[in-house]
Amino acid sequence: MSWDIFIQDLPDVASMREVPADHEPGPIGKLEDLVVKILEVIPFGDRQDSDWIFATADDIDISLQFHMEDAEQVRYIVAHIHGGAQSAVCVGAILRHLGLRGLDTETAEIFDSYSLDEGL
């Protein structure tokens, strides 16, 4: 199993079909602020280079890739889920902690992080 979730500026809609055609996602925050917040959720995350965090633990195998708007601002993050029964739960916890939403490339819909188990 492997898929990606795009963590980005998405409007508060129930479905991707409801996103206005003229919606242009804005930056989601400063790189260093986002890294600090993510590592609060996954303290076992290993930051590599300036634009990657790898998280591997029991039942978690994800990598987070930061895509930059400019030198400081992140346009979006791609959560690459490589496997692990709790990886989706982990990404859901990150989304909730950041107050952001994600686009699930497996379903082409908004990633429903609230339907997942709350605990890591």
Flag whether the pTM goes above 0.75: yes
Q: What are the start-end ranges of the E strands in 9-72? A: 29-30, 46-48, 52-57, 60-68
Residue 53 token pair: 């965090």
User: 79 - beta bridge partners?
Assistant: 5, 64
Domains of the chain: 3-10+28-115 (3.30.310.80)
**Could you give the count of Cα atoms lying within 13 Å of 13 in the half-sphere of its Cβ?**
14
Quote the CA–CA distance of 91 and 35 in Å, as a whole number. 14
Helix locations, 1-120, DSSP H:
31-41, 87-98
Residue 91 DSSP SS3: helix
Per-residue pLDDT 10s for the chain (120 aa) are: 579 999 999 888 778 888 888 888 899 999 999 999 999 999 999 999 889 999 999 899 999 999 999 999 999 999 999 999 999 999 999 999 999 999 898 888 888 765 554 444
